Amino acid sequence: MKRYGILLGLLMYPLWAFAQQSSAKLELPPIGFDSVQDAYDSLSADENASKSEYEGWTLFTQKVDGKYILWSFTPENHPVHPSVVRRDIVNKDGEVFISMAVMCHSSRLDCDQLTAQFQQINERLRQKYGNDSGS
């Protein structure tokens, strides 16, 4: 349980610290809602979703069927606002699996950069927690 608390803390680390420019086309699955606002409204009404704010970002955390679902909504002053990133995180047999979906309303380059930022964070988490050697 302590590891999940650390994991969640790392996921909320300032995103711009890991910024990377990318022009690669990134195809991601849908987030499960028709719009960013629909996702926000649904999570706001869900008593099983924990809401927090971090440096302007609105974050929701859910625990569903043994996995954590983390939602990150861009601040109003962010270049790709309104956008949302959904990450499903599962720790299975000491290995961390993260699937990600993004709904981004901006230029392709800006959306690719947002996605790349989260991919870097995800990779760092997989490296840190992927080998559960008890440390």
**d(Cα 39, Cα 89) in Å, to the nearest integer?**
18
Residue entry with tokens 């050697």: 133
User: Quick count: other Cβ atoms within 10 Å of Cβ 88?
Assistant: 16
How do residues 89-104 score in pLDDT, each as one tens digit? 888 887 888 999 999 9
Q: Which residues neighbour 21 within 8 Å (Cβ) at sequence distance 6 or greater?
A: 113, 116
- Tell me what the pLDDT averaged over the chain comes to: 79
How do residues 17-66 score in pLDDT, each as one tens digit? 232 333 333 344 578 899 999 999 999 999 999 999 999 999 999 998 88
What is the DSSP track for 38-56? HHHHHHHH-TTSEEEEETT
**d(Cα 63, Cα 53) in Å, to the nearest integer?**
18
Quick one: which of 68, 79, 70, 131 has its CA closest to 104? 79
Q: Delimit the domains of the chain by residue range.
A: 2-13+39-128
Q: Which residues neighbour 34 within 8 Å (Cβ) at sequence distance 6 or greater?
A: none
More confident residue, 9 or 18: 9
User: Quick count: other Cβ atoms within 10 Å of Cβ 107?
Assistant: 11
Residue entry with tokens 């790709």: 80
In terms of pTM, does the model score above 0.85?
no
How do residues 105-134 score in pLDDT, each as one tens digit? 899 999 999 999 999 989 987 887 765 444
Least confident residue range of 7-16, 62-71, 77-86:
7-16
**d(Cα 87, Cα 101) in Å, to the nearest integer?**
7
Q: Amino acid identity, residue 59?
A: L
| pLDDT in the model for residue 131 | 55
